[in-house]
Structure 1
Amino acid sequence: MVMKPKEALVFKKICKKCTVTVLVAASWFGVLSLGVSGAAMAQSAGSSVRGLPDFTELVEQVGPSVVNIRTLEKARPSEVSPGGSDEEMQELFRRFFGVPIPNVPRQAPRQNRPQEDAQPKGVGSGFILSADGFIMTNAHVVEGADEVLVTLTDKREFKARIVGADKRTDVAVVKIQATDLPAVKVGDVNRLRVGEWVMAIGSPFGLENTVTAGIVSAKQRDTGDYLSFIQTDVAINPGNSGGPLINMRGEVVGINSQIYSRSGGFMGISFAIPMDEAMRVSEQLRASG
Structure 2
Amino acid sequence: MSLKFVRNPFAAALLGAAVVGLPATIFAMGHEATPVVPVAAPVPQASGVVGRAALPDFSAMVRAYGPAVVNITTKGTVKTSNRSGGQLRGFPGFGDDDDNSPFGQFFRQFPQQQIPDSAVRGEGSGFILGADGVILTNAHVVADAKEVTVKLTDKREFTAKVIGQDTKSDIAVLKIDAHDLPTVKVGDPAQLQVGEWVVAIGSPFGFENSVTQGIVSAKGRTLPDGSYVPFLQTDVAINPGNSGGPLFNLDGEVVGINSQIYTRSGGFQGVSFSIPIDVAMNVGKQLQATGKVSRGKLGVTIQAVTQDLAKSFGLDKPYGALVSNVEKDSPAQRAGIEAGDVILKLDGQTIEDNAQLPAQVAAKSPGDKIKLTVWRDGREKELSAKLDEMTDKQLASADDADDNVAASGKLGLAVRPLTSDEQKQVEVKGGLLVQNVAGAAADSGIRPGDIVLSANGKSIDSVKQLRDITAKADRHIALLIQRGDARIFVPVDLG
TM-score, reference length from structure 1: 0.68
Note the 1:67-106 alignment, pairs <5 A. 67-73=70-76
SS of match in other structure, 2:182? coil
CA contact (8 A) 1:165 1:172 kept: yes
Could you tell me which residue of structure 2 aligns to residue 56 of structure 1? 59
Question: Residues 47 and 227 from structure 1, CA distance in 2 versus in 1: closer, same or farther, beyond 3 angstroms?
Answer: closer
- For 1:75 and 1:47, the matched residues in 2 are separated by 50
- Equivalent residues in 2 for 1:1-289, closer than 5 Å: 48-73=51-76, 120-224=120-224, 225-289=227-291
Greater per-residue helix proportion:
1
- Distance, in Å, in 2 between the alignment partners of 1:282 and 1:61 is 24
The one-letter amino acid paired with 2:247 is L
Corresponding position of 1:80: none
For residues 222 and 166 of structure 1, what CA distance do their matches in structure 2 show? 17
> Which structure has the greater CA radius of gyration?
1
| SS of 1:129 mapped into structure 2 | strand
Q: Structure 2: how far apart are the matches of 1:181 and 1:188?
A: 23
- 2:111 corresponding residue in structure 1: none
Question: Residues of 1 paired with 2:222 and 2:164: CA distance?
Answer: 25
Q: Equivalent residue of 1:162, what SS? A: strand
Distance 1:205 1:176 in 2: 23
Check conservation: 2:78, 2:120, Cα contact below 8 A. Answer: no
Rounded Cα–Cα distance in structure 1 between residues aligned with 2:63 and 2:49: 29
CA contact (8 A) 1:129 1:184 kept: yes
Contact kept, 8 Å, 1:127 with 1:137, in 2: the verdict is yes
1:66-99 residue CA offsets vs partner (Å, 9 max, x unmatched): 00000012699xxxxxxxxxxxxxxxxxxxxxxx
Amino acid at match of 1:234: V
TM-score normalized by structure 2? 0.40
Task: Give the SS at the match of 2:236.
Answer: coil
Runs of 4+, deviation exceeding 4 Å: 43-48
Distance in 1 (alpha carbons) for counterparts of 2:154 and 2:49? 41
**Compared CA separation, residues 55 and 74, structure 1 to 2 (3 A):** same
8 Å contact kept, 2:135–2:173: yes
1:20 matched to which residue of 2? none
| Counterpart AA for 1:55 | F
**How far apart, in 1, do the equivalents of 2:222 and 2:258 lie?**
15
Identify if the C-alpha distance between structure 1 residues 153 and 119 changes in structure 2 by more than 3 Å, giving closer, same or farther.
farther
Contact 1:70 1:120 in 2 (8 A): no
- Matches of 2:223 and 2:50 in 1, distance apart? 38
Taking only the aligned residue pairs, the percentage that are identical comes to 63
- Residues of 2 paired with 1:226 and 1:45: CA distance? 39
Deviation at 1:44, TM superposition (A): 9.6
One-letter amino acid of the structure 2 residue matched with residue 263 of structure 1: S
Q: In structure 1, how many angstroms separate the alpha carbons of the residues matched to 2:204 and 2:215?
A: 19
- Offset at 1:256? 0.0
Counterpart CA distance in 2 for 1:130 and 1:157 is 17
Taking only aligned residues, the RMSD between alpha carbons, in angstroms, comes to 2.2
Q: Hey, what's the Cα distance between the residues in 2 that align with 1:44 and 1:129? A: 38
Provide the rounded CA distance (Å) in 2 between the counterparts of 1:159 and 1:136.
15
Q: Deviations over 1:176-234 (max 9, x none)?
A: 00000111100011111100000000011111111000000001112233211000000
1:121 CA drift (Å): 2.1
Alpha-carbon distance in structure 1 between the residues aligned to 2:47 and 2:177: 56
Give the direction of change, closer, same or farther, for the CA distance of 1:54–1:145 in structure 2 (3 Å limit). Answer: same
Pair 1:132–1:44, CA change in 2 (3 A): closer
Give me the whole-angstrom Cα distance separating, in 2, the residues matched to 1:44 and 1:187: 27
Q: Offset of 1:119 from its aligned partner?
A: 5.4
CA distance in 1, matches of 2:52, 2:74: 45
Q: How many equivalent pairs are there? A: 206
One-letter amino acid of the structure 1 residue matched with residue 245 of structure 2: G
Cα pair 1:72 1:119 within 8 Å, conserved: yes
Supply the distance in 2 between the matched residues of 1:75 and 1:278 (Cα, whole angstroms).
Answer: 25
How far apart, in 2, do the equivalents of 1:75 and 1:48 lie?
A: 51
> Does the 8 Å contact 2:124/2:242 carry over to 1?
yes
Aligned-partner Cα distance in 1 for 2:78–2:205 = 23
What is the aligned partner in structure 1 of residue 413 from structure 2? none
